[in-house]
Amino acid sequence: MIAGHRRVSLLCFGLLLAQSAPAVHAKALQPPSEWLDAATNNTIVAEVIGIDLGGKLSLKKLADIHGQKAAPSELTLTTPPWLLTKLSPGQRYVIAYTAYTRSAVKPKTLVAIPTGPTLLIGPGLEPALFLDSPNARKLLTPTPRKIVDVSRTDLDFVLAGLASDDGQYQNYFAAELALRPELQALLTATDDAQISAFVRNPQAHPSARALLLRSMAQRSASAPLPWIDAAASDILDALSETGHQRADDFNAALANTAFSVLQGHKASIALPTLARWIGSDSPPLAEQALLMIRQQAPKQERPLAEAALSLSLLDADTRTFLHDHLRRLTVMEEALRTAAPDG
């Protein structure tokens, strides 16, 4: 988990790690179907009986779905505080959690989490909580799977899941596709068109869009898909550059992924778009924009940063960052002048 109040994270396959109270993330980049099967995890159907907005969720177990040991009849989970405002007492959910984490001293050793059982948060499980339904119970019930068993039917199931209106399912199936190369090997041009439309869809969950944008860019590294750069540019052009201070903001990670993809491809972004992001309320995204400007139009880096500093309501953290950035830029420019040969 990344500390602090910013939602930009360094993503592997666009993984968005939710800011929260202590939470448990996948130890490796496993697809959710595999991670749910871990022996240290429990999956249950439960009813919400209490909500502490400080980061605790009290539950009454209705059924066990997975776990080496049955879950207690009542339990309290540590959860991201932002999540609790979205839950309702009396509502039933399918939930995965763990009571264990890896020792900081001996990473191969599992120890009890000091704060108690904790909701799972990881790729495709952001968090591992779904409104109770037959589909949710089936989806979160681990089933043995072998790579050799993967078929077109499996891929069609995943692609159909992306069409769900529920962002939780979109995240789950996006992670399945992003983290299972054997599924990607079955993709056709028609499938690529569907994924492109999903990544470009502003109504789709930002985490799922980021996962697929990053994974499809890496999949096509040797022969880039023509839609990747266009989609990344459209994302930066369409997203708001503000609102990223909220703990439940997911768009910052999507923007970060778009910047990373375009930087990796040495693609250009319109200067007005980059100038807008310099004034964002996320210093990491402002820095991404400045680095792109340095790559495209280095003589514009200083004036555009100074223009952002002239904004009356520029975010305080971004203002501090820009002042520091300009000081570093001055040092770099002076060093280059000193190193330049005379004449």
Residue pLDDT, tens place only, 165-221: 999 999 999 999 999 999 999 999 999 999 999 999 999 999 999 999 999 999 877
Calculate the average pLDDT of the chain.
Answer: 87
Q: Which residues, 6+ apart, have CB-to-CB distance to 90 below 8 Å?
A: 47, 48
Percentage with pLDDT > 90 across the chain: 70
Which tokens go with 41?
A: 């995890």
pLDDT band at 136 (very low <50, low <70, confident <90, very high): very high
Q: What is the pLDDT of residue 342?
A: 65
Nearest to 31 by CA among 182, 183, 179: 179
Three-state DSSP state, 56: strand
Least confident range of 2-11, 70-79, 278-287, 298-307? 2-11
Q: What is the pLDDT of residue 138?
A: 93
Report whether 211 contacts 254 (CB < 8 A).
no
Which tokens go with 160?
A: 């159909």
Please check the confidence at residue 303 and state whether its pLDDT lies above 80. yes
Rounded to two decimals, what is the model's pTM? 0.85
Q: Alpha carbon of 341 to those of 336, 337, 338: distances in Å? A: 10, 8, 8
Considering only CA atoms, give the Rg of the chain: 22
Q: What is the pLDDT of residue 146?
A: 54
Q: How many CB atoms lie within 10 A of CB 213?
A: 29
Higher confidence at residue 248 or residue 48?
48
Please check the confidence at residue 340 and state whether its pLDDT lies above 80. no
Please check the confidence at residue 6 and state whether its pLDDT lies above 70. no
What residue has token string 């959710």? 32
Question: How big is the CA angle at 245 (ends 240 and 251), to the nearest 5 degrees?
Answer: 40
243 — alpha (psi -120 to 50), left (phi > 0) or beta?
left
Three-state DSSP state, 119: strand
Count, residues in the chain: 343
Three-state DSSP state, 172: helix
Report whether 49 contacts 89 (CB < 8 A).
yes
What residue has token string 């779905």? 65
Q: pLDDT for 272-287, tens place per residue?
A: 999 999 999 999 999 9
pLDDT band at 147 (very low <50, low <70, confident <90, very high): low
Three-state DSSP state, 143: coil
pLDDT band at 91 (very low <50, low <70, confident <90, very high): very high
Please check the confidence at residue 20 and state whether its pLDDT lies above 90. no
Helix (H), strand (E) at residue 101: strand 100-102
Please check the confidence at residue 300 and state whether its pLDDT lies above 90. yes
- Taking the C-alpha atoms of residue 93 and residue 131, their distance in angstroms, rounded to an integer, is 4
Please check the confidence at residue 159 and state whether its pLDDT lies above 90. yes
